[in-house]
Chain A
Amino acid sequence: MMKTPFRVLSRIAVSGLIASAMTLSGLAAANAASTKAPKQITIGTLYAGSGSFADSSLPQYDGLKFWVNQMNAKGGVYVKAYHKKIPLKLIAYNDQSSSTTAATQYNQLITQNKVNLLVSDFGSVLTSVAVPIAQEHKMLLIDPTGTGGSFFTPNNPYIALTSLPTSGVWPTSLADYLIKNHYKRVALIYDQNDFDQSQATTLLAKLKNAKITPVYNNSVPTSTSNYSVLIHSIMATNPDAVIEFGYNTNDIPFLQSVSASGAHFKMLFTIFPGQLLSNIEQNVGVSGLAGTYTYPTPPLLVYNKVNYGLGMNAFTKEFQKSTHSAPNFLDVAGYNAGLVIQKTLENTTGLGQLQLRKALYTFSGKMFTLDGLFKLSPTGAQIGETLPVAQLIKSGNGLKVKVVYSK
């Protein structure tokens, strides 16, 4: 059968297309193979050198720096995509505890410094501005301690919380403890920020389910530092359990005012003694803290049996050698964020942001560090670590931690 000119032309065209496609794919493969590994992996972060979050942000930054120095001392971090160790470079700006400044600087880290990995500053307030910026730039945000529940949504794949569960989950054990121990007259005072409000919402919902209506339930501005009148109002309701959700700058004056007022409550709960015990003890004194309750976190909870990074005792020793100061929880959180980055790079197939996210889920639920189990929910929230309830008990001239309830 004779081939018509049309058939000949179409065969030539198809052959040409196939050949072109093969050439292009061959070139792409050749390109991938020949892509050079970057000279360094850049990690961008912010810290608060001054302002209300400085005393929490600086230790978190110290923990991250400690990890970077450790890695660089070993020649860098192993990156699976390039089958080699690559040195790390930490780029950090001081946001002075201002979320407005932080927003500008997060943008700068992404657009000007073009960092490979973005790590947010301490806490929900300074992380809240990073979340939409990272999402807009399709940049994975490594979030060490920003636990606001609203950050983690199904339509945002660009966030991963590395320490602590989302704040809404924190009071789970506390609520159970209150219900189990038949505390009927609960007074709740909390600060007006995402971190504390989400905890209050959870606690109130759980108490409501147990048919407990708080005898006092009020929010106060986060900047509140004078609690005398508030404590008097609380005392007037005759509560048997008083729960205060605030930052450490609230917990200190609150606990002091309780001591000064001579008030005695069967149960008194604050958050930050569990994270910054030595700092709060220095301000409030052993007597002001003895008998109170808190959520204990590492290093008050000691995890030495780990399958990744240093165990708590080894970390404490190394950290003290390096910084000449004992670590607190936020040092641990900064270091833990570093460990998560390290493991991510060891598992990633490339430095693309969604590749990094995919790598995170390869070890989610399997990695146990000094901070506990690292496990992410599908929205990037931390669900591996749990916060028990502990009581601070006077022991000699100091305090010891006794876990009284753990879910």
Chain B
Amino acid sequence: MLVYTVISGILFGLFCSLMGIGLNLIFGVMRFVNLAHGDFLMLGAFGAYFAYTLYGISPAISVVINMIVMIVIGALIYYAFVPRLLRSRDPEMLSLIFFFGISQVIEALSVIFFTNNPRSIDWSALGTANYQLFGQSFQESWVVSALISVIAIVLVYFYLYHTKLGYATRAVMGSLDEAASSGINVHRVSAWAMGIGLALAAAAGALSPFFLGSITPNMGSDITTTSFSIIIIGSLGNPLGTVIGGLIYGLSSMFMQSYIPSWANLVPYLLLFLILLFKPSGLLGKVVRHA
């Protein structure tokens, strides 16, 4: 039981890391909280659902399709709205209102187009095998989803630490003004960050039916809350801290479900409370500030 819980927690935690990492990337670069994060994830989930049910496209392929589409959408949203927000007196507050509005619009349109009925992808879409890990049997969809999450997270790491654009992104995350004065095209970097942030959300969306059960147009707000908890646990503004946050969240959720299921809902709020009480900057907060 304990071993099963720990491994489930790690698999679920890796997915949670992917769920939150895009939100943290956008916050790190632009200092905006994307309140529509969960709604973009939901769009990714429905994209994968329709790709699978209408054309038989595997959700693993949908992860890639979702990412490409969302990078474009993210860049378009950035150039259409964000520079105007940045010119305002209080861009952070306005961005909250803006993304809340986007969230409401996405949800309303999704209800119209997708209806409110819960949908789900056949659990065998990512394979029917059962994997034996430390003597415990795990469904293939969980193992494959966790592996895809790891690949996506490694790609984010590679982008941030081994590409020119990634260096520029980290510079903007450190100080927007200093990055701009050193000749970095802040808008270009931010547009990429926005696109990649939404792409990661949509990638998580394609895998969400396997971890979160059925998908509905109104799932977004809960996911935004959970993602926000995850990134605060890791550290706001540090995308890789999200991995730690995700793993802690995943393990805590599974332990609660195994041993005190009635209280499982409290996990994100309890963790948030503890982190804010004992380490308000997040577990990797120090690393970010002095990087």
Contact = CB atoms under 8 A, between A and B. Distances in A.
Interface in B216-272: 216-218, 222, 253-254, 257-258, 261-262, 264-265
A256 B213 contact: yes
Contacts of A51: 116, 218
A262 B128 CA distance: 10
Contacts of B117: 55, 279, 282
Interface in B117-161: 117-120, 122-124, 130, 137, 139, 141-142
Interface residues of A, number: 40
B124 to A, nearest CB: 8
B5 interface: yes
A223 B118 contact: no
A260 to B, nearest CB: 4
B5 A229 contact: yes
Interface in A253-294: 253, 256-257, 259-262, 279, 282-285
B211 interface: yes
Interface stretch (A82-90, A132-140, A230-238): A230-238
B213 A227 contact: yes
Interface of B: 1, 4-5, 8, 12, 107-108, 111, 115-120, 122-124, 130, 137, 139, 141-142, 211-214, 216-218, 222, 253-254, 257-258, 261-262, 264-265
Interface in A234-257: 236, 248-249, 252-253, 256-257
A156 to B, nearest CB: 30
Contact of B118 (A226, A249, A259, A262): A249
Interface string A23-54: 00000000000000000000000000111101
A50 B111 contact: yes
Nearest to A96: B218
Contacts of A227: 213
B262 A252 contact: no
A220 interface: yes
A316 interface: no
Nearest to A222: B265
Contact of A52 (B211, B213, B218, B253): B218
Contacts, number: 110
A100 interface: no
Contacts of A218: 261-262
B9 to A, nearest CB: 8
A233 B253 CA distance: 14
Contacts of B115: 55
A386 interface: no
Contacts of B217: 50
A323 interface: no
Most-contacted residue by chain A among B111, B124, B213, B261 (CB, 10 A): B213
B219 to A, nearest CB: 9
A226 B211 contact: yes
Contact of A226 (B124, B141, B212): B212
A229 B252 CA distance: 12
B77 to A, nearest CB: 23
Contacts of B262: 192, 218-221
Contact of A230 (B107, B119, B218, B257): B257
A226 B257 CA distance: 9
